[in-house]
Amino acid sequence: MQIAFYTQNDHLFREIDKAFEEDGNYRCIRFTSELPLIRFLERHDTALVLFDSGRSCAAGRGVLSWRACHFRRDLPVMMIGQAWDSDSIIEALDAGVDEIAVGSPCAKEVLARARRTIAKSGGGANSDSRISLGEYTIDRSTSAISVNGQHIKLTARELTLAWLLFANAGTLLTREQIARAVWGKEAVIASRSIEQHIYKLRSKLSLGEHSNLQLKTVYSIGYVFDLVRTRPAASPAPRMSEALAAAHPY
Q: What CATH number does the domain containing 58 carry?
A: 3.40.50.2300
Residues 10 and 44 reside in one and the same domain: yes
In angstroms, the first-to-last Cα distance of the chain is 92
pLDDT digits (tens, 9 = 90+) for 70-115: 988 789 999 998 778 888 888 888 888 999 998 888 999 999 999 9
**Are residues 102 and 25 located together in one domain of the fold?**
yes
User: Which residues form the domain of 191?
Assistant: 130-227
Task: Kindly state whether residue 62 falls inside one of the protein's structural domains.
Answer: yes
Q: What HEC string does 222-234 produce? A: EEEEEECCCCCCC
What is the rounded average pLDDT for all residues in the chain? Answer: 85
Domain shared by 112 and 148, yes or no: no
Among the listed residues 52, 55, 45, the one whose alpha carbon sits nearest the alpha carbon of residue 30: 52
Q: Quick one: 83 and 181 in the same domain?
A: no
Q: What tens digit of pLDDT does each residue of 145-187 get?
A: 998 878 999 999 999 999 999 989 989 999 999 999 999 999 9
* In the chain, % of residues over pLDDT 70: 88
Q: Indicate the residue among 65, 98, 121 that finishes a domain.
A: 121
Helix/strand/coil for 125: coil
Decide if 97 is inside a domain.
yes
Q: What's the pLDDT score for residue 122?
A: 64
What pLDDT score does 230 carry? Answer: 52
Are both 92 and 195 inside the same structural domain?
no
In a domain, 250, yes or no: no
Q: Does residue 242 lie in a domain region?
A: no
Last residue of a domain, one of 92, 121, 150: 121
Query: What pTM did the predictor assign?
Result: 0.76
Q: How far apart are CA 228 and CA 213, in angstroms?
A: 6
- Would residue 219 count as lying in a domain? yes
